[in-house]
């Protein structure tokens, strides 16, 4: 599957060059796409793989995968601008207003790229309807995440289902539906499950790292931080004090080791790992219920394990 990524990246640049001529929009878009090319474009890979799994053979699928990745890039840009925690990314090196304009333009560009695909009108209409439904779902989840609206495990899972998982459903289902098939409920369910597993995995990483993306420093409510706050002992009261704003960032910057010890005592990371494994195991169970996936199971596992 690695040989597919350069083709997807080339299509992203081609589509961008076709529609973006004003400077610095064209220049910024190319720079942001090149930065995206340096990463793993697993959403586009999922689109291509699912298309092939369900019998598709048109080369136009690479433009569809590029359209998916253009939207994911736009989402990443907006997410980083909103969080302000990715100063080294290319879009953080330009004026915020310009980066925002590129992101909005990329969203429109991704839809235009879908509309121009050499598939039947019925397939394109179904894909566009599905695409917009999933992206609107993700928009609601992103707003809840921005507002730090999580209050318990149920609300956390609801936010993740809408924000992160909806984008994986979008990528997989684009490939499925471009073969002429309708919505595939099992593919949608396993995409949701693996999306939730991936988000919990990220949350484990973001609790234990010690930089601008640390969920504790950001006072972000996740499955792990909620569990940590519920289980802390009296000696760890400073964790609750910081989360509730009674002490400042300066008061906790030298307490990385203390936080790690508290996570070990409470079992917060282990708790997250168990939940992550539950969702990933459910994904594998559902995958076995899709006969079309049998020959590509290892490829899917490789993409989702990266």
How far apart, in whole angstroms, are the C-alpha atoms of residue 89 and residue 94? 10
- Collect contacts of 267-275 with beta carbons under 8 A, ≥24 apart: 267/231, 268/207, 268/224, 268/225, 268/227, 268/228, 268/231, 269/204, 269/207, 269/208, 269/224, 271/223, 271/224, 271/227, 272/200, 272/203, 272/204, 272/207, 272/223, 272/224, 272/227, 273/204, 275/200, 275/223
How far apart, in whole angstroms, are the C-alpha atoms of residue 49 and residue 6? 15
> Per-10-residue mean pLDDT for the chain, 306 residues long?
86 97 96 92 96 96 97 93 85 95 97 94 93 93 90 92 93 97 96 95 90 87 94 93 94 93 93 95 96 92 82
How far apart, in whole angstroms, are the C-alpha atoms of residue 272 and residue 200? 6
pLDDT in the model for residue 306:
67
Cα–Cα separations (whole angstroms), residue 275 to 73, 150, 157, 226, 232: 28, 17, 11, 14, 19
Query: What φ, ψ does residue 282 adopt, rounded to 5°?
Result: -65, -40
* CA 82 from centroid of its chain's CA atoms: 15
Contact in structure between 25 and 79 (CB atoms under 8 Å): no
Residue 28: name the closest of 87, 90, 117 by CA.
90
Residue 220: name the closest of 249, 237, 245, 243 by CA.
243
Contact in structure between 25 and 105 (CB atoms under 8 Å): yes
Segment 179-231, tens digit of pLDDT: 999 999 999 999 999 999 999 999 999 998 888 788 999 999 999 999 999 99
pLDDT in the model for residue 209:
86
Length of the chain: 306
Contact in structure between 203 and 214 (CB atoms under 8 Å): no
Which residues, at least 6 apart from 209, have a Cβ–Cβ distance to it below 8 Å? none
Query: What φ, ψ does residue 174 adopt, rounded to 5°?
Result: -60, -45
Give the three-state DSSP class for 291.
Answer: helix
Contact in structure between 213 and 206 (CB atoms under 8 Å): yes
pTM: 0.94
Which residues, at least 6 apart from 97, have a Cβ–Cβ distance to it below 8 Å? none
Segment 138-151, tens digit of pLDDT: 999 999 998 988 99
Tokens matching residue 148: 């730090």
pLDDT in the model for residue 302:
87
């Amino acid at each position: 599957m690695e040989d597919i990524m350069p083709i997807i990246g080339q299509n992203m640049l081609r589509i961008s060059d076709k529609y973006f001529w004003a400077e610095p929009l064209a220049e910024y878009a190319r720079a942001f796409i090149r930065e995206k090319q340096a990463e793993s474009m697993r959403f586009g890979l999922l689109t291509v793989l699912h298309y092939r799994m369900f019998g598709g053979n048109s080369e136009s699928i690479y433009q569809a995968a590029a359209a998916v990745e253009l939207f994911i890039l736009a989402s990443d840009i907006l997410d980083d601008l909103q969080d302000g925690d990715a100063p080294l990314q290319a879009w953080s090196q330009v004026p915020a207003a310009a980066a925002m304009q590129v992101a909005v333009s990329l969203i429109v560009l991704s839809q235009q790229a879908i509309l121009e695909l050499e598939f039947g009108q019925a397939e394109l209409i179904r894909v566009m309807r599905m695409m917009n439904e999933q992206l609107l779902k993700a928009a609601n989840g992103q707003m809840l995440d921005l507002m730090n609206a999580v209050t318990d495990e149920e609300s956390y899972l609801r936010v993740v289902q809408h924000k992160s998982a909806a984008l994986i459903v979008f990528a997989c289902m684009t490939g499925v539906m471009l073969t002429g098939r309708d919505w595939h409920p099992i593919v949608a369910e396993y995409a949701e499950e693996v999306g939730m597993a991936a988000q919990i995995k990220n949350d484990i990483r973001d609790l234990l790292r010690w930089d601008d993306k640390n969920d504790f420093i950001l006072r972000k409510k996740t499955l792990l931080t909620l569990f940590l706050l519920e289980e802390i002992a009296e000696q760890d009261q400073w964790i609750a004090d910081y989360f509730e704003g009674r002490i400042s960032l300066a008061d906790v910057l030298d307490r990385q080791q203390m936080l790690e010890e508290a996570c070990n005592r409470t079992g917060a990371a282990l708790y997250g790992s168990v939940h992550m494994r539950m969702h990933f195991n459910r994904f594998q169970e559902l995958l076995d219920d899709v006969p079309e996936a049998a020959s590509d199971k290892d490829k899917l596992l490789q993409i989702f394990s990266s």
